[in-house]
Structure 1
């Protein structure tokens, strides 16, 4: 994610305590590790933040990548 997105406050986890989600008080703890061969194919990486707003969501959200072929 950091290789293609250096935006601050790009989080993948919001604790349920102290209203972390509404305050956007999160942390980035979900990572995708790529081999050197896959890393050169990396086109984009996105945090699917909208999933956290669903009814009864997990405190983590998915991270998705796109690789060129």
Structure 2
């Protein structure tokens, strides 16, 4: 059955298929990069929130210590 299909058509189909496959591979790479960037941004936000919580805790502890010293 394949023998009945012109060789030029098969070659063109194959080249278009390869081009689309490369396009999809690039799209997947782009999505993976985008996901990694989002993960890094999320990690930074979590780290920032954690650092702020530690600073608040330290300030609260510092204020408590200062109050107990003045009594």
TM-score w.r.t. length of structure 2: 0.22
Bigger relative contact order, structure 1 or 2 (CA pairs below 8 A, ≥6 apart)? 1
Flag the structure with larger Rg. 2
User: 1 or 2, which has the higher helix percentage?
Assistant: 2
TM-score w.r.t. length of structure 1: 0.23
User: 1 or 2, which has the higher strand percentage?
Assistant: 1
